[in-house]
């Protein structure tokens, strides 16, 4: 047993050295594909492998849709009540006022909502149990084959890109390089990074709200640093005592104004 273990360890060590040599050769003379940096380079898959659970849900939903379209399972339908003006589904039911319904979205008033049956893309619990018992092995085998193929491509460096450690970390956090400056990073839901956004008219207004300003307490003249958007909350000095002051329990000035007592 010990001989086979030692042979396995030597084989793993050899494979690790060969992999590191291939990586070093692949990175030789290259720069980061995002920012152009030449330091701290790493090899990354062009399309990152998603988590197993996410792939499992996606594959299950895809196969379930195929089976529903084939007529093997029936899709659950849901009756929705919508506002006739904006299509919203949230409205208040009133017992004494007329009209009896009021939309919480557009504030329109009406007596009866629009009713429409929509397909949910789901099946009943009994049908889902039958589907999973029948197709779970097929889904898992297909999924493992796809993941093994993607991992093999990554190990062979066939479909890989070069990133610096900074860009690689940003990519793992779901961010991409800013198209404007090429230095900062932005999330998929934003067009610019924070530094570039602050230079726009809208960004200037937003940045002003987050600007750090000095606030002097009117009772004790202590100075605190806080964001401008919180200034309107400190109209009452007692709020500053409770939220910012660390010496509230022993402060005689706050006690004299009643701020040290429990609310």
Given a contact cutoff of 8 angstroms between Cβ atoms, the answer to whether 219 and 257 are in contact is yes
Going from the C-alpha of 45 to that of each of 89, 131, 175, 182, the distances in angstroms are 43, 34, 15, 21
Count of CB atoms within 10 A of residue 78's CB? 10
Predicted model pTM: 0.60
Would you say residue 30 lies in a domain?
yes
* pLDDT > 70? residue 260: no
For 135-152, the pLDDT digits (tens) are 999 999 999 999 998 888
Query: Does the pLDDT value for residue 262 go beyond 50?
Result: no
Do 37 and 163 belong together in one domain?
yes
Specify if 186 maps to a domain.
Answer: no
**42 DSSP β-pair partners:** 163
Answer yes or no: is 233 within a domain. yes
Q: How many structural domains comprise the chain?
A: 3
Tens of pLDDT, residue by residue over 191-245, are 999 999 999 999 999 999 988 888 888 888 888 888 888 887 777 777 777 777 7
Q: Is residue 8 part of a domain?
A: yes
Residues 215 and 85 in one domain: no
Q: Report which of residues 254 and 140 the model is more confident about.
A: 140
Residue-range definition of the domain harbouring residue 218: 210-256
């Amino acid at each position: 047993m010990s001989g086979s273990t030692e042979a396995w360890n030597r084989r793993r060590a050899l494979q690790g050295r060969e992999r590191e040599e291939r990586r070093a050769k692949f990175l030789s003379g290259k720069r980061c594909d995002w920012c152009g940096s030449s330091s701290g380079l790493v090899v990354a898959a062009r399309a990152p492998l998603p988590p197993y659970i996410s792939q499992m849900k996606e594959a299950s939903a895809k196969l379930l849709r195929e089976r529903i379209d084939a007529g093997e399972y029936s899709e659950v339908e849901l009756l929705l009540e919508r506002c006739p003006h904006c299509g919203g589904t949230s409205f208040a039911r009133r017992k004494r006022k007329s009209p009896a319904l009021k939309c919480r979205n557009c504030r329109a008033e009406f007596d009866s909502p629009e009713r429409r049956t929509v397909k949910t893309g789901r099946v009943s619990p009994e049908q889902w149990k039958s589907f999973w018992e029948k197709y779970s092995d097929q889904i898992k085998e297909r999924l493992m084959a796809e993941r093994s193929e993607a991992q093999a491509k990554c190990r062979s460096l066939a479909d890989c890109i070069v990133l610096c450690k900074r860009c690689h970390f940003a990519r793992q956090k779901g961010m991409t390089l800013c198209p404007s400056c090429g230095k900062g990073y932005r999330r998929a839901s934003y067009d610019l990074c924070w530094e570039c956004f602050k230079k726009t008219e809208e960004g200037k207004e937003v940045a002003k709200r987050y600007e750090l300003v000095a606030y002097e307490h009117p009772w004790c003249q202590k100075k605190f640093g806080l964001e401008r958007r919180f200034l309107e909350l400190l109209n009452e000095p007692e709020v500053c005592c409770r939220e910012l002051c660390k010496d509230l329990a022993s402060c005689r000035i706050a006690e004299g104004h009643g701020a040290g007592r429990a609310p």
